[in-house]
Amino acid sequence: MTNNLEISNLSLLLSSVLLIVALLIDYKEKLGLGNDIFIAGIRAVVQLFLIGYVLSYVLRVDNNFLTLAMVLFIVFNASYNAHTRSEGINRSFKISTTAIGVGTALSLLILVFSGVIDWSPSQIVPITGMIASNAMTAIGVTYRSLNSKFTDQRQQVLEKLALGANKKQASMSIVRESVKTGMAPS
C-alpha cells in the first residue's frame, strides 16, 4: 500500500469544527449534552488513534491470520453493539453474532470468489467494516421495532395467547413487521 493519507495538525483542527458545531447547538438549544458530546469527542480521538495503529500494522504485515482476526473482531464488535440496542431481548448477542457473522461471511466469500475483491487486508478489512456496520444498523432497527411493537401491541398478543395461540403465532405479525422495518433500504 503505497498511497498513504497524511493527516496534518491543521486537518485534525478543522475536523474538530464539527464537534464545536455540536457543542454550540447543544448550548443554544439547552439540551444538556455538552459533557457527553465532549467526552464522546475525546473517546473518538483516542479510539481512532489506537485503531489507526492496529490497522496500519495489519495492512503492513499482510498476514491471512491477522486479516481473519480483524474480520472476527469487526463482526464481534458489531454484534455487541447491536446487542446493546436490544433492551432485554433474549439471546440477542447470539442472534446478532449469527446474523452478522453469516451475512458478512457469505458476502465476503461471494466477493472474493467472484474476483470482485482480493483476499488482502487493504480490501477485506474495509469491506468487512461496511458490511458489518450496515448489518448492525439493520439489526438495531429491528430490535427497536420489536421492543416498540411488543409494548404497543401487548394487549393483542395477550388476547391471542388467551385464545389458544402459541408464542410464535401470537407474535409472528410483530416479528415480520419488525424484520421488514429492519430490512428496508435506507
**Digitized pLDDT (tens) for each residue of the chain, 186 residues in all:** 445 566 677 877 787 888 899 999 999 999 999 888 888 888 888 887 888 888 888 888 889 999 999 999 999 999 999 999 888 899 999 999 999 999 999 999 999 999 999 999 989 999 999 999 999 999 999 999 999 999 999 999 999 999 999 999 999 999 999 999 998 887
pLDDT of residue 4: 57
Query: Would you state the cell numbers that stand for residue 39, as one nine-digit string?
Result: 467526552
Considering the domain boundaries, does residue 143 fall inside one? no
On whether residue 46 sits in a domain, the answer given is yes
Residue span of the structural domain in which 15 resides: 1-61
Q: Is residue 19 part of a domain?
A: yes
**Residue 40 within any structural domain of the chain:** yes
- The pLDDT value recorded for residue 5 is 60
- Asked if residue 173 belongs to a domain, the reply is no
In a domain, 45, yes or no: yes
Query: In angstroms, rounded to a whole number, what is the distance separating the alpha carbons of residues 164 and 43?
Result: 51
Picking from 131, 134, 141, the residue whose alpha carbon sits closest to that of residue 182 is 141
Domain membership flag for residue 83: no
pTM value is 0.75
- Kindly state whether residue 154 falls inside one of the protein's structural domains: no
